[in-house]
Every structure is written in C-alpha cells, then in structure tokens.
C-alpha cells in the first residue's frame, strides 16, 4: 500500500552460493517501531541493507517512502538514516564534536550547532561526558551517541541494525526509552533488527518474524500472540518454525 513506509514484495538475494533472501515480502506502516526478528543468518541485515539502498536485490519489488528502488535510490537516500551494527565514532573527537561534525556534513555550518544540540539532547548523555573523547566511552555510551547521531538528522525513516546488541540492561533500557520517545514526539518510523524477542516485544508496535530468508508472519505483538496462542513472541516463533537443527 502507498501509505506504507516500506514495502518489499517477493525479494530474493544471493551472495555467491548463499541464498540470503528467498522471496521475502513485508510492509512497514508509518509512525511505528518495526522490529525484524529472527535467528542468526535469517536475513535481517540483508533486508535492512536493501531498504537502506546499500544492497540491490536479485529480484522482487522494493518501495521506500513511496519511491521505487533502484531508480529512485538518491531520493530515498536523502530521507533515511541507517546505522549499521558496527557503526563507530571518531574516537579522537569528543562526543559533542562527533555530533557537530556529522551535523555539518548533512546540514552545513549554518545549522550544524542547532542539529548537534538536538543530538546531544536525544542521547541523554551528561554534558561532562559529551565533552570527553569518544574513545573513552563505554560501549553503552558510544551506542547512545551513535543512535542519537542517526536520529538527529530528522530522517523520515531510521534503520537500526541490532541497536542494543552486546549492551547491559541499563544501556539497553535507555536506548529503548530513547527510541520510544523519539517516535512518539516525531511521528517518524524506525525499523530495527534484534535477536532479543523479549526486547522487541516490549518496544515494537509491529514485528516481522524472519527465518531462512523469508518473513514467516508479521503484525503487532499482541495480535501474533493471540493468533498463535503463545504467551511470548519466542513461543510464537518456536510454534511456527520448531526448535531448529
């Protein structure tokens, strides 16, 4: 549907002999946090990279923000923010300088400070931490800054690959809160991937369960739990695909 932020229809992608996606279809409605969940190697990152225009599928239809890939790639790029799992910071710059530098690239000197201030606010980092070198940050602080750097760009669609992986309970909690507040205040859309079904259940309005390169079901967590008689999304997932090898 054209009101959807992203639509993939029957998308396939191979890397050499490995089939990453084998006919994946999904719809991401506007103004939600959409969680793509599934085991290692299911195809989550490939899907996110296709939506981000970084990977071209072998076949299928991909529409993002009303524009079709691959011909309208540049229009889409100007309206999305993508944060890969391994996204880093400039370690020799302070947190604040990282935000400022990024803001300058996207918005020019004129608006850089205003945009970086928004990033600093979204990050929730203390002023004294923002003025420390990013190389001294804990993993949780670094991730909060990297996510704030993506959110401050005011993109219509924010794509976050495993935003909380490897973080402790406090950092994950803060990031979830940050993302929820952002969507509530801005009406923008976030697509994220995760292995952590409990986390996804808590933060996402809408989820897509992906396994072996296809989407096996999708919808609001409460709807999926009712439909598949599971107490948790994990139970829903296992009831559909079994326990794996």
Task: Report the interface residues with ligand ATP, using CB under 6 A.
Answer: 15, 18, 20, 38, 40-46, 195
For the CB of residue 212, give the shortest distance to ligand ATP in the complex, in Å. 9
CB nearer to ligand ATP: give 129 or 199: 199
Among residues 157 and 215, whose Cβ is nearest to ligand ATP? 215
Q: Which CB sits closer to ligand ATP, 24 or 130?
A: 24
Residue 207 and residue 201: Cα distance in Å, rounded? 8
The CA distance from 133 to 57, in Å, is 39
| Sign of the alpha-carbon dihedral angle for 30, 31, 37, 42 | positive
**In the complex, minimum distance from the CB of residue 21 to ligand ATP, in angstroms, rounded to a whole number:** 8
Instruction: Please count the CA atoms within 13 angstroms of the CA of 45 that sit on its side-chain side.
Output: 12
Minimum CB distance to ligand ATP, residue 18 (Å)? 5
Q: CA-CA distance, 38 to 210, in Å (whole number)?
A: 5
Instruction: Decide whether 152 or 200 has the Cβ nearer to ligand ATP.
Output: 200
Gyration radius of the chain over CA positions: 18
Contact by Cβ (8 Å): 145, 205:
no
Least spacing, CB of residue 184 vs ligand ATP, in Å = 27
């Amino acid at each position: 549907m054209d009101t959807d932020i992203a639509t993939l229809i029957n998308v396939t992608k191979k890397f050499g002999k490995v089939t990453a996606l084998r006919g994946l279809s999904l719809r991401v409605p506007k103004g939600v946090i959409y969680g793509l969940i599934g085991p290692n190697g299911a195809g989550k990152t490939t899907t996110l990279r296709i939506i981000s225009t970084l990977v071209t599928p072998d076949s299928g239809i991909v529409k993002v923000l009303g524009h079709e890939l691959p011909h309208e790639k540049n229009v889409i790029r100007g309206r999305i923010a993508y944060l890969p799992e391994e996204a880093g910071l400039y370690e020799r710059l302070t947190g604040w300088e990282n935000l400022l530098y990024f803001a300058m690239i996207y918005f020019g000197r004129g608006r850089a400070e205003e945009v970086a201030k928004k990033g600093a606010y979204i990050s929730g980092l203390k002023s004294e931490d923002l003025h420390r070198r990013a190389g001294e940050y804990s993993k949780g602080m670094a991730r909060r800054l990297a996510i704030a750097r993506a959110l401050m760009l005011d993109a219509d669609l924010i794509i976050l690959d495993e935003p909380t992986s490897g973080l402790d309970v406090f950092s994950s909690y803060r990031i979830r809160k940050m993302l929820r507040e952002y969507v509530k205040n801005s009406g923008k859309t976030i697509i994220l991937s995760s292995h952590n079904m409990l986390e996804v259940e808590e933060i996402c309005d809408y989820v897509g369960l992906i396994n072996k390169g296809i989407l096996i079901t999708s919808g609001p967590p409460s709807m999926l739990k009712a439909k598949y008689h599971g107490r948790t999304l994990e139970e829903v997932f296992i009831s559909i695909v079994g326990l794996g090898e």
